[in-house]
Amino acid sequence: MLHKFPLPAKTLTIYKKVLFISILYAVCLGVLIFLSNRYKACYIRKRLLEMRTVLADGTLQSSIANYEETGNASYVTAFNQNFSIIEEKVLQNRISILDSVICIVFAVLVLLYMNPLIAVISIAAMAIPSLLPSLFTKVLGTAQETVMKSTTSYNETVADLLTGYEVIKTYHAEDEMFHKFSKTAKRLDSNKEHFSSLMASVYGLTTLSSVAVQFFIMGLAGFFAVKGYITIGSIVAVTQLTGQVISPAFELSAKISELKSARPVLDTLHTLSHPEIHEKK
């Protein structure tokens, strides 16, 4: 036979507060995800159109001498591959970074309410996976710039093959042209593979540190429960909330690294879009 034990008024009040905060947190998180997905595509589409328009205007305003010095392939790369990089590594990452920051703020506020000590420790531990990718910023930027230069060289080779097709056939230079194409294609593939390997290293290192921090927080929460500082039930809530802090922090650090690695692409786009500035230098 089950016996009903009424909850003390104090416990019931705490329960209601925790329930209210949990519902509020879930609603806010749901609204954030909805708004992010709703406006992400619209923002990216408008921003890319604006940047393409500025680049086209800058190209037409450039002098003939500057255009010839820059090279047709550089413009082809800017109008095609560079915008793919900007969409993926810059615009999408900016929105993802904003999402991660808001998620972290919400989770930290709820965690501060439930257990300020663990909240402070979680914030301090969050810095570990967040700061590690900054060690790779310069290397990633250099690798991305190398990929961009290889892409330009590849486009130049393709342009030479297509525009000079009759000359190649007339002078029987097929083998030389094929050798040149193979060399530039392999160089581009090698540089892309190197960049992908660096990004994999960043993700692997940040994932390792993120998981280690989560296990550390879980163990700390268990220790506090044994000492009577928090209840057993609070361990589950604290662990979940800590995950909502550490996981976005991990994503945040990786996205920031990708964003910084695209800096050479943005610099090149700015140079081509504003020739009136750079021609004077």
Per the CB < 8 A criterion, the answer to whether 131 and 202 are in contact is no
Give the H or E element holding residue 37.
helix 9-61
**Cα separation, 193 vs 146, whole angstroms:** 11
- pLDDT at site 16: 67
pLDDT of residue 231: 65
Question: How high is the pLDDT of residue 1?
Answer: 44
Long-range contacts of 181-188 (CB under 8 A, 24+ apart): 181/157, 184/150, 184/153, 184/154, 184/156, 184/157, 185/154, 185/157, 187/150, 187/153, 187/154, 188/147, 188/150, 188/151, 188/153, 188/154
- CA 72, CA 31: separation in Å to the nearest integer? 46
- pLDDT score for 187: 93
C-alpha to C-alpha distance for 51 and 273, rounded to whole angstroms: 8
How confident is the model at residue 2, as a pLDDT?
A: 45
* Residue 107: predicted pLDDT: 77
pLDDT by residue, tens only, the chain of 281 residues: 444 545 555 556 656 666 777 777 778 778 877 877 778 888 888 999 999 999 999 888 888 888 888 888 788 888 888 888 888 888 888 888 888 888 778 777 777 777 777 777 777 776 776 677 677 778 888 888 898 889 888 888 988 888 888 888 888 888 999 999 999 999 999 998 998 888 888 778 877 877 787 778 777 777 777 777 766 666 666 777 777 777 777 677 778 777 888 888 888 888 888 887 755 55
Which residue has 């999402």 as its token pair? 99
pTM recorded for the entire structure: 0.66
